[in-house]
Structures are given as C-alpha cells and as structure tokens.
Amino acid sequence: MIIHDWATGPYPARVRIALAEKGLAGQVRFRSVDLFKGEHKRPEFLAKNYSGTLPVLELPDGAFIAECTAITQYLDTLAGPPTLTGATPREAGMIHMMNKRAELEVLDPISVYFHHATPGLGPDVELYQNPEWGLRQRDKALRGMRYFDQVLRGRPFVAGDAFSMADIALIGGMIFAEIVKLPIPEGCDALQEWHGRMQARPSVRNRVTLSG
C-alpha cells in the first residue's frame, strides 16, 4: 500500500499514528505530496482524491481511499489489537461520534483558521482567504478544547476507557494547534494531562519519521 501524504501534517499524522498503533508501518510506502507547491491541487492528484487533500491511501488494486476516518477504519480491519474503532456496536458508535466531534469542534476549525487567518500554505495555494471567518473558527476551536477538557475530567480517553481513533483525531487537533501556536486554554488541566500522555506514546512521538 502507498500513503500519499505530507510527513509533518496534522491530518496525515492521524493515519501515521494509526499505522504505528496497529503495527502496519511495514506494509506501506510513503509518497510525499508538496502542499506548499500546491501539488495536491493538480489534476494528477485530484484524480486520486477529488477533494484535493492529504492523506490518501492507495491500495494494491489501484483503488484510493481518502479521509482519515475512512483510512483508519480500513487499517483497523487489517490487524488485530488494539482495536481503534470499537470492539462492540456501542463502542463503535461512541468512538465514531467522538472522532467526528474532535474533527468538527477542534481539528477542522483550526484548519480553517490556518488557511484563512494566517499565511497558510502561501499565496499561490490560498487563493481565497476570509480572515474574519478564520478568527471565528479559531474561537470555536478554543471552545472545543474546553469541551474536551470537560470530557476528559470524567474518563481517561476521549471515547471511554481505551485509546481509540477518537483520541487520534484530537491529537491531530493538538498538532495543528501547536503549528498555529494556539495554546490550550488556561484551566484545561484534564486536556493538558491527556495531551501529555498522548505525546508519550511512541506512535505519536515517532510519527514524522515513521518508515514504511
């Protein structure tokens, strides 16, 4: 399998972490797509992923799977423990909900802030920017961090008692927050403690240098 990605990117980090957690790194090769040159918006890449985003998983039969959640769900079926997407229907539902909430309330808003209220990928790639919209999304992300702080006051991981795909999505949000220098709000001690535990995981620490 081939992963088309950008090694230091927050969304690619989600798949890199999942690969490492599942012990699947040896089954993939990485192919770098230069975001700052706009390679992800060129026809040859759009043929792989209509949405023009990274990462994209290329299967041996030539099929492409984009979207971090979909890629993670696919990878989760390839190997045994740990199960990242839920071992029971209830777990799967809770994990999917909290994974999507991490995207909606933290990761995606920070991405919008990056692209609209900072130089982002540069003027050749950011062809339309709305700084006001970007700033509003930054504030939404800060509210989201406070929400997850409340969640993590009552449980060790984002979706319950075990590490899951939902934690990986929120880790992606924290990675993007570091890139745009958006600090975890004061008083979010549970989120800080959880973030410290996540950063100590080898799958998180070694994600950028993960070798296929």
Ligand X SMILES: N[C@@H](CCC(=O)N[C@@H](CS(=O)(=O)O)C(=O)NCC(=O)O)C(=O)O
Binding mask of the shown chain, residues 73 to 102, with x at each position contacting ligand X by CB under 6 A: ------------------------------
Q: Does 111 bind ligand X (CB under 6 A)?
A: yes
Cα distance between residue 91 and residue 72, in whole Å:
16
Binding mask 27-66 for ligand X (x = CB under 6 A): --------x----x------------xx------------
| Residue 157 region by backbone torsions, left for phi larger than 0, else alpha for psi between -120 and 50, else beta | beta
Closest CA to 76 of 14, 33, 31: 14
In eight-state DSSP terms, residue 160 is B
Which among 203, 175, 178 has a CA at the least distance from the CA of 9?
175
Restricting to residues 167-206, name those near ligand X by CB under 6 A: none
Only one of the segments 3-11, 73-81, 134-142, 192-200 lies at the binding site for ligand X (rule: CB under 6 A); that segment is 3-11
Per CB under 6 A, the segment of 4-12, 158-166, 191-199, 204-212 that binds ligand X is: 4-12
Q: In the chain, what is the greatest distance between 2 CA atoms, to the nearest angstrom?
A: 49
Is 68 among the residues that bind ligand X (CB under 6 A)?
Answer: yes
Stretch that binds ligand X, among 6-14, 86-94, 128-136, 187-195 (CB under 6 A): 6-14
- Check the CA dihedral 172-157-200-1 and report its sign: negative
CA–CA dist 84, 72 (Å, integer): 8
Find the shortest distance in angstroms from Cβ 186 to ligand X. Answer: 27
Strands 2-5 and 56-58: antiparallel
98 neighbors 178 (Cβ within 8 angstroms): no
Query: Of residues 125-154, which lie at the interface with ligand X (CB under 6 A)?
Result: none
- Complex with ligand X: residue 16 or 149, whichever CB lies closer: 16
State the nearest-atom distance from the C-beta of 123 to ligand X, in Å.
13
Calculate the dihedral angle through the C-alpha atoms of 100, 105, 108, 114, rounding to the nearest 10 degrees.
-160
Residue ranges that bind ligand X, judged by CB under 6 A: 6, 9-12, 35, 40, 53-54, 67-68, 111, 121
